[in-house]
Each structure stands twice: as structure tokens, then as C-alpha cells.
């Protein structure tokens, strides 16, 4: 209520804004009947000068309200700033061979626990990694459009890399991995970003 009355911008929870409001509030305290005064302010804020849809027509101090004069009743006080989430980056290997794609199961705990996803690149030497780690001889690679996926505590920025596989070895089918036809993969237990990429390449 004081923020609107005196046109104090910014989120009230910010230290500088909070200090300004406290200083203002202390300067406005009456010499007597402080309890009645503070209760009146709280009632006014709870019933008239509410956070959403304040009833300015019923406000007894509307004529001197700075926010009302400047047409900023909806802007003051400012809402809590959105928290900036960290961004994690990864490269997914979409290993394609004769209409099938290689998926691997995530560990049972952690992100997407137990679901099937694409292998993640551990280095920039993609062809060597695919040959040594997944038993795939790569014929060609192509970067696809970056995919972003949000979680409550971070954003994931995914660079999909389509890899055409020339030939495979038994290593590609080690425990926790499987070759599966793309259409069948869409119906498997895969997280949303994996399903989106499967739709793209089908």
C-alpha cells in the first residue's frame, strides 16, 4: 500500500526497496494510537489496496496516490523477479542404421531414471567415440536444430547429432542398449525431448 501511495518501484523483497519502505513507514508513524494506525494500514491493504485488482474507488487516500496518478497501479509493487536458471548443454547421438536407432537406458535413479534416451557424446571426437564406445562405424554426421527442455532447477540445451551408421559390432547391443525401429521407439518409455526428436527424423 505504501509502495503505491508514494510511487516506490521495485520488488519490496529487494533489500534497497525494503529499506526505503521501512524508512518511509517509520517516518509516517503517529505520535499516539500507533496500534490503531498500523491495523488500519493492514486492513486497507487486505481489503482495498490489494495486490491484484485493487479497488481504488474505495480508497480514502486515492487522491494523493502516486501510482494512481501515473497509471501504474498494476506495476507497483513489482512482482518477485524470475529466478535465472542455469543452462546445461549436451550433445545427443542419434545413431541411425537401416531404419533403426540406438537407445540406451538411463540409470534407475537421477534424471529420467529408467527411461530410454539417446547416447550422450562424451567428447568432440564423435566418430572415434562412436566406434570405441558403441561399436558403430560412422558414414556421415549432421547437426540438427537445437532442442531446449526446461526442468524446475535448470534448462537443458540439446544439440542432436544425426549419425548415419555404416556398420555395427556386437558392442552396440551391450546390456542397457538396443536397436529399435524409429516408429517403435516413439511408443517406448522415452522422455519428451527424445520423442520430439524421433518425430523430427521419422
The pLDDT value given to residue 81: 85
CA torsion, ordered 168, 173, 174, 177, to nearest 10 deg: 120
Distance between CA atoms of residues 65 and 49, nearest Å? 11
**Which parts of the chain fold into alpha helices (H)?**
2-5, 15-27, 34-47, 66-69, 126-134, 182-186, 192-201
By three-state DSSP, how is residue 167 classified? strand
Compute the distance between CA of residue 6 and CA of residue 19 in angstroms, rounded to an integer.
Answer: 14
Cα–Cα distance measured from residue 178 to residue 3, given in angstroms and rounded to the nearest whole number = 61
- pLDDT of residue 48 exceeding 80, the answer is yes
- 193/35 Cα distance (integer angstroms): 57
CA-to-CA distance for 104 and 94, rounded, in angstroms?
Answer: 11
| pLDDT tens digits, one per residue of 98-145 | 999 999 999 999 899 999 999 999 999 999 999 999 999 999 999 999
Separation of alpha carbons 182 and 102, rounded Å: 9
Percentage of residues in the chain having pLDDT higher than 70: 100
41-62 exposure pattern, b = at least 16 Cβ within 10 A, e = fewer: beebeeebbeeeebeeeebeeb
**What is the Cα–Cα distance from 126 to 101, expressed in whole angstroms?**
17
CB within 8 Å of 198: residues ≥ 6 apart: 101, 182, 185, 186, 190
pLDDT at 151 over 70: yes
| pLDDT tops 80 at residue 173 | no
Which pLDDT band, with edges at 50, 70 and 90, does 171 fall under? confident
CB-based contact 180:100 (threshold 8 Å): yes
52 falls in which pLDDT band (50, 70, 90)?
confident
Q: What angle do CA 132, 107, 135 make, to 5 degrees?
A: 15
Per DSSP, the three-state class of 176 is coil
Q: CA 45 to CA 164: how far, in whole Å? A: 64
| Residue-wise pLDDT tens digits, 53-94 | 999 999 999 999 999 999 999 999 988 888 889 999 999 999
Q: In which band, very low, low, confident or very high, does the pLDDT at 15 lie, cut at 50, 70 and 90?
A: very high
pLDDT of the residue at 172: 67
Amino acid at each position: 500500500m505504501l509502495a503505491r501511495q508514494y510511487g516506490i518501484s521495485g520488488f519490496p523483497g529487494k533489500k534497497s526497496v525494503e529499506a526505503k519502505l521501512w524508512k518511509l513507514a517509520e517516518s509516517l508513524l503517529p505520535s499516539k494510537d500507533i496500534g490503531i494506525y498500523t491495523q488500519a494500514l493492514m486492513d486497507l491493504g487486505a481489503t482495498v489496496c490489494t495486490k491484484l485488482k485493487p479497488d481504488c474507488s474505495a480508497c480514502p487516500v486515492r487522491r494523493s496516490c502516486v501510482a494512481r496518478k501515473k497509471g501504474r497501479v498494476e506495476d507497483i509493487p513489482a512482482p518477485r523477479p524470475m529466478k535465472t536458471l542455469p543452462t546445461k548443454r549436451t550433445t545427443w547421438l542419434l545413431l541411425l542404421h537401416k531404419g533403426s536407432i540406438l537407445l540406451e537406458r538411463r540409470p534407475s535413479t537421477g534424471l529420467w531414471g529408467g527411461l530410454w534416451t539417446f547416447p550422450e557424446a562424451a567428447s568432440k571426437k564423435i566418430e572415434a567415440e562412436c566406434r570405441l564406445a558403441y561399436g558403430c562405424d560412422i558414414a556421415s554426421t549432421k547437426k540438427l536444430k537445437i532442442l531446449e527442455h526446461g526442468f524446475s532447477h535448470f534448462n537443458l540445451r540439446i544439440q542432436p547429432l544425426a549419425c548415419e551408421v555404416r556398420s555395427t559390432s556386437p558392442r552396440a547391443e551391450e546390456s542397457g542398449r538396443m536397436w529399435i525401429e524409429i516408429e517403435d521407439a516413439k511408443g517406448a518409455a522415452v522422455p519428451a525431448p527424445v520423442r520430439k526428436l524421433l518425430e523430427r527424423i521419422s
